[in-house]
Amino acid sequence: MAEETIFSKIIRREIPADILFQDDLVTAFRDINPLAPSHILIIPNHLIATVNDVKASDERALGRMMTVAAKIAEEEGIANDGYRLIMNCNKHGGQEVYHIHMHLVGGRPLGRILAT
């Protein structure tokens, strides 16, 4: 798998992104092609290609992704009405960038399945 992704460049701020949160473990930024009023990507700062590549040593970063999602949902004003967290894995799962990332999507009723 790749050692460098577009997300790696966003983490290092080499390419522009609307970054909402960044610490030593994770970075969160707005999706450039949002599917809902709030559509934020939350990524670990170190490259993990797919969910299949997660190791026990990644648990701290993955846990931080969840707490950051809750924090941003509150800041976006979507926590009370609800939101969706999505992680895709590999081709059939719809993964396009091979650096795991969580989509935080909300701001409108999403229904049973997210429609594009």
Instruction: Give the chain's domain count.
Output: 1
* Residue 67 within any structural domain of the chain: yes
Task: Tell me the residue ranges of DSSP E strands in the chain.
Answer: 19-22, 26-30, 38-44, 83-86, 102-106
Looking up residue 92, the CATH number of its domain turns out to be 3.30.428.10
Per-residue pLDDT of 34-88, as tens digits, reads: 999 999 999 999 999 999 999 999 999 999 999 999 999 999 999 999 999 999 9
Q: What band does 92 get if pLDDT is binned at 50, 70 and 90? A: very high
Given a contact cutoff of 8 angstroms between Cβ atoms, the answer to whether 42 and 84 are in contact is no
Total number of residues shown for the chain: 116
Domain that residue 59 falls in: 6-106
Which pLDDT does position 116 carry in this prediction?
57
Find the distance separating the first CA and the last CA of the chain, reported in whole Å.
28
- Cβ-count burial of 50 within 10 angstroms (0-12 exposed, 13-18 middle, 19+ buried)? middle
* Residue 113 within any structural domain of the chain: no
Residues classed as catalytic:
101
Q: What band does 114 get if pLDDT is binned at 50, 70 and 90? A: low
* Residue 111 within any structural domain of the chain: no
Question: Token match 């970075």: residue?
Answer: 27
* Residue 74 within any structural domain of the chain: yes
* Residue 1 within any structural domain of the chain: no
* Residue 116 within any structural domain of the chain: no
Per-residue pLDDT of 16-27, as tens digits, reads: 999 999 999 999
